[in-house]
Chain A
Amino acid sequence: MSDLSPQQAIEQAEKLANKAQKAADAAAAHADALADALAAGGHAASGGAFDPVVLRISVFILAGFVGWYAVTPVASSLHTFVLALAAMLGSVIMVAGLIAVGIDVVSPLDDDGIRAKGFGFAALTLASIALFGGILVTRRLASVTRTGGG
Chain B
Amino acid sequence: MSATLIALLYLAAGILFILALRLSPQPRTARPGLACSIAGLVVAILATFGLAAPSTGSSWLLVIGGIAVGGTIGATIARRIRMSGVPHLIAALQALTGLAVVLVAAAVLQAPDAFGLGKTGAVSPDRLTGMAIAAVLGAIAFAGSATAFLRLGGFIGAAPYRLPGQAPILVTLGVLILVLGIAFIAGGRPVLFWLTALLALPVGGLVTASFGRDDMTAAQFVLNACCGLAIAATGFLLGNLILILAGGLIGASSLSLAVRMDREGNRPFVSLLFGGDTAGASPKGDEPGQAETGQAETGP
Contacts and interface: CB of A to CB of B under 8 A. Distances in A.
Contact of B66 (A72, A77, A125, A146): A125
Contacts of B242: 92, 95
Residue from B38, B96, B243, B248 whose CB has the most chain A CB atoms within 10 Å: B96
B238 A129 contact: no
B201 to A, nearest CB: 16
B69 A125 contact: yes
B241 A59 contact: yes
Contacts of B271: none
Contacts of A89: 17, 20, 37, 40-41, 228, 246, 249-250
Given A97-B66, A99-B51, A101-B54, A60 B31 contact: no
B114 A105 contact: yes
A81 B27 CA distance: 10
A126 B100 contact: yes
Contact of A100 (B53, B107, B217): B107
Nearest to B223: A87
B44 A92 contact: yes
Interface stretch (B205-213, B252-260, B273-281): B252-260
A98 B28 CA distance: 35
Contacts, number: 362
B171 interface: no
B97 A72 contact: no
Contacts of A60: 232, 235-236, 244-245, 247-248, 288
B8 to A, nearest CB: 14
Given A82-B257, A90-B224, A73 B31 contact: no
How many B residues are at the interface, by size bracket?
Answer: 35 or more
Q: Most chain-A CB neighbours within 10 Å: which of B25, B56, B74, B108?
A: B74
Most chain A beta-carbon neighbours within 10 Å: one of B63, B65, B97, B241: B97
Given A63-B248, A86-B254, A112-B110, A93 B71 contact: no
B89 interface: yes
Interface in A27-75: 32, 52-53, 56, 59-75
Nearest to A73: B260
Contacts of A141: 86
Interface string B88-121: 0110011011011101101110110111100010
A80 B88 CA distance: 11
B116 to A, nearest CB: 8
B55 interface: yes
Interface stretch (A1-9, A11-19, A113-121): A113-121
Contacts of A139: 34
Contacts of A110: 111
B139 to A, nearest CB: 14
Given A78-B27, A86-B253, A104-B55, A131 B238 contact: no
A23 interface: no
Interface in B198-245: 217, 220-221, 224, 227-228, 231-232, 234-236, 238-245
A76 interface: yes
Interface of B: 14, 17-18, 20-22, 24-34, 37-38, 40-41, 44-45, 48-49, 51-56, 59, 62-63, 65-67, 69-75, 77-79, 81, 83, 86-87, 89-90, 93-94, 96-97, 99-101, 103-104, 106-108, 110-111, 113-116, 120, 126, 217, 220-221, 224, 227-228, 231-232, 234-236, 238-257, 260-261, 264-265, 288-289, 292
12 contacts: A56-B244, A69-B256, A71-B257, A76-B264, A82-B24, A85-B37, A92-B45, A101-B62, A124-B62, A124-B63, A132-B78, A142-B30
Interface of A: 32, 52-53, 56, 59-105, 110, 112-113, 115-142, 144-150
